[in-house]
Amino acid sequence: MTRVLSSVLELMRLQSEMNRIFEVLEALESEEDSYAIEYAPAYDIFETSSAIIVEMDLAGTKPDSLKITAIGDHVIIEGIRGHGVKKSSSHFHLMERSKGKFKKNILIDGPFNTHKGEAVFRKGVLRIEFPKVKDRRGAPHPITVHKE
């Protein structure tokens, strides 16, 4: 059982990595936005009984470079991630940690209040919390037929 769970978790991790690669490629091919994408941060979306939460790993990002916008059921997070080392004073032997501009358009499924969202940046993790609202989608709403 543990072996199966481990395999499933590894497949989920690989799928997440592939999704990030495709997001970067899609952004690079998009002609509607000239924002050059250089970095694709990892993020999680989860919910509690009272809120929908987005957490994004942004170590090396300055909080004042972040711009967060909520539009409908989308949350757009933009910013710049940099390294603490100056290129001119260093010679890199290996560079695996990505840096540069990023822009994530995250679709959140479920009703939430965009006007009361709060963002906190702590220890390299951006946490955005949106209070849940009553879901009125799918609720029956009778429509009266009028005679002409």
pLDDT digit string, tens, across residues 103-148: 889 998 888 888 899 999 999 999 999 999 887 666 777 787 888 8
Domain ranges, ordered by start, for the chain: 34-131
pLDDT exceeds cutoff 60 at 19 = yes
pLDDT exceeds cutoff 80 at 52 = yes
- Which CATH number, 3.30.420.40, 1.20.120.1200, 3.40.50.720, 2.60.40.790, labels domain 34-131? 2.60.40.790
Phi, psi for 126 (deg, rounded to 5): -90, 125
pTM (predicted TM-score): 0.65
> Which pair of tokens denotes residue 73?
């059921």
Q: Measured between alpha carbons, how far is residue 145 from residues 75, 90, 141, 142, 148 in Å? A: 38, 74, 13, 10, 10
Q: Give CA–CA dist 62/80, Å, rounded.
A: 8
Tens of pLDDT, residue by residue over 77-88, are 999 887 655 666
